[in-house]
Chains A and B, each alone.
Chain A
Amino acid sequence: MGLLKDEDKKAIQGIFEQLKDPVSIVHFTQELNCDYCSETKQLLLEVADLSDKINVEMYNVQTDKEKVTEYEIDRVPALVPATVIRNEKDFGIRYYGIPAGYEFASVLEDIVDVSNHHIDLEASVLQKVQSINKPVDIWVFVTTSCPYCPRAVRTAHKFAMANDNIRGVMIEANEYPQLSMQFSVQAVPKVVINKSNSFEGAFPEPQFVDEILKAL
């Protein structure tokens, strides 16, 4: 039984009419000890089916060790299910956990932006983001039913597209309770920068980049 309803698929196909160049969804999964691995895998395959410009590469974290290293999947202790959205380049766009609920819209928007090589940031914010010359891991803790969360995830992903030093990572808090506890996540969205500085709430893009600059 499909995860996406027929009317959902139609709506997504409408959105995918905007796709220009090919997009790859690189997905890391495992067979056991993973609550949403099989649903996430199924979801991404269903999404890829809706456009011939999207292809999926599927890897197993236990057996495809070189790929895990190549994409530095273990940089986030969450590990699986992990999803990368890229074109000929890996921008550092990551999802850990099932991108269901509101976060599904983030996936669709990321796919459109990556396909169009389009960084949707205003000029002054883009300039600040591109000035960052140190590595930055932006972790955004979310829950799938949080309507404010996709804004924070999308901002982190746009920043990742704009600067090779930046990784934008969505972490679905409910699936990784220990990691969430480690970073005292009790309200979402919660943004953690380089595993240290953090703030809660979906800040507008100008404030978001200022928080990053503060943390560096």
Chain B
Amino acid sequence: MSDISFHIGKEDELTEKNYDVVVLGAGPAGLTAAIYTGRAKLKTLVVEKEAIGGEAASTDWIDNYPGFPEGVGGVDLAEKMEKQAKRFGATVLYGDIRDLDLKSQPKTMIVNGEKVTAKAVVLATGTHPKELGVPGEKELKGRGVSYCATCDAPFFKDKEIAVIGGGNSGLQESLFLLKYVKSIKIVEFLPYLTAEPILQDRILEYKNVEAFPHHRLVSINGKDKVESITVENRSTNEKFDMKVEGVFVYVGLEPNTDFLKDQVKLNDWGYIEVTPNMETNIAGVFAAGDVRDTLVRQVATAVGDGAHAAVIANKFIEDLEE
């Protein structure tokens, strides 16, 4: 611990049971939706399963969110958004959801053991990067282990790094990383890189890129930050270390929609299908941010989705009351 800081927060508790809007997920999409519904004087509950700020909060620094010329800490940004949502009356709660029924009107669910109703629901549960589950991966997340090159590449200027995953994401992001880093070692489990040939040709032209197909990542090593990784050559079973200061993991994204399978329509990859107005196939149910079917997943786009969904949800509720 280089400097000691103190986080001061007090969890809200569930005091009311009937809401105008329940938002699932307190990441940028969810909190923005709550700011908008709160200001529209709709009684709003935000339920978060893990950490306020979602994926954005697990990033140390955000340089591309508009309004912060020097950048902003992921956690700091999340706390500001939460504070803003609470200012307009949103209750922000840690909890889990069970028995979710989105098809009824009002929608119903059990939140921390209590039955809660909502006239409209905004699904903003986001995604999570697929993890490999190797030792050191969680511990060093944000301290050398990263899942987002566009977000973090500038922090690895002139450093030696590893990219885990030789598919399109890994190689595409490597092209971006090359603008910053000293060298890249690409570690791929299968006996061959799975990225499109055109990407492979492009990346392997660079003298400072080396590919290691048919290698398994055994562990990510380091005390307070990444110092090396241990890999195993799957052909020879030989284990050896690579001295790297960064590890970018690109083994896929998973939408947090397992609990929604029999409710809203999901696309083939599990993301929620929406209209241009963030509406799902169920009336009064909206989706915003990473969890919805989209090609771009950034804080800036999640915030836009959240605002959009909230305004349309407000209209839906007004129409209900006519």
- Neighbouring A residues of B53 by C-beta, 8 Å: 147
Query: B-side binding surface: helix, strand, loop or mixed?
Result: loop
Q: Is the CB of B4 within 8 A of A3?
A: yes
In chain A, positions 10-48 with a C-beta closer than 8 Å to chain B are 11-12, 15, 36, 39, 43
Q: A105-B10, A124-B113, A147-B75 are in contact. List 8 more A-B contacts (CB 8 A).
A: A8-B6, A101-B4, A104-B8, A108-B10, A144-B4, A147-B53, A148-B51, A187-B139
A4 to B113, CA, bound (A): 36
* A122 in the interface (beta carbon within 8 A): yes
In chain A, positions 74-106 with a C-beta closer than 8 Å to chain B are 98, 100-102, 104-105
For the side of the interface on A, what is the size category? Answer: 35 or more
A50 to B319, CA, bound (A): 50
Known contacts A4-B6, A39-B4; is A186 also within 8 Å of B135 by CB? yes
* B96 in the interface (beta carbon within 8 A): yes
Q: What are the interface flags for B147-188 relative to A under an 8 Å C-beta threshold, 1 for contact and 0 otherwise?
A: 000000000000000000000000000000000000000000
Total contacts A to B, CB within 8 angstroms? 76
A200 to B139, CA, bound (A): 11
Q: Is the CB of A122 within 8 A of B114?
A: yes
Among residues of B, the one whose C-beta sits closest to the C-beta of A102 is B7
- List 8 tightest A-B contacts by C-beta distance, closest first: A122-B113, A187-B138, A104-B6, A204-B96, A147-B51, A186-B135, A105-B9, A100-B4
A residues sitting closer than 8 Å to B (CB atoms) are 3-4, 8, 11-12, 15, 36, 39, 43, 98, 100-102, 104-105, 108-109, 112, 120, 122-125, 143-144, 147-148, 151, 174, 186-188, 200, 202, 204-206
Q: Is the CB of A125 within 8 A of B4?
A: no
Q: Is the CB of A188 within 8 A of B8?
A: no
A15 to B8, CA, bound (A): 9
A148 to B51, CA, bound (A): 6
Q: Is the CB of A11 within 8 A of B8?
A: yes
A54 to B23, CA, bound (A): 37
* B11 in the interface (beta carbon within 8 A): yes
Known contacts A187-B139, A204-B49; is A108 also within 8 Å of B8 by CB? yes
* B112 in the interface (beta carbon within 8 A): yes
- Neighbouring B residues of A200 by C-beta, 8 Å: 138
Interface centre among B8, B57, B95 (most CB of A within 10 A): B8
A4 to B135, CA, bound (A): 35
Q: Is the CB of B6 within 8 A of A123?
A: no
- Neighbouring A residues of B52 by C-beta, 8 Å: 147
A188 to B94, CA, bound (A): 18
Shortest C-beta distance, B107 to chain A (Å), equals: 20
Q: Is the CB of A122 within 8 A of B112?
A: yes
Q: Is the CB of A202 within 8 A of B8?
A: no
Interface centre among A3, A102, A147 (most CB of B within 10 A): A147
Q: Is the CB of B139 within 8 A of A188?
A: yes
- Neighbouring B residues of A4 by C-beta, 8 Å: 6
Known contacts A101-B5, A101-B6, A147-B75; is A186 also within 8 Å of B139 by CB? yes
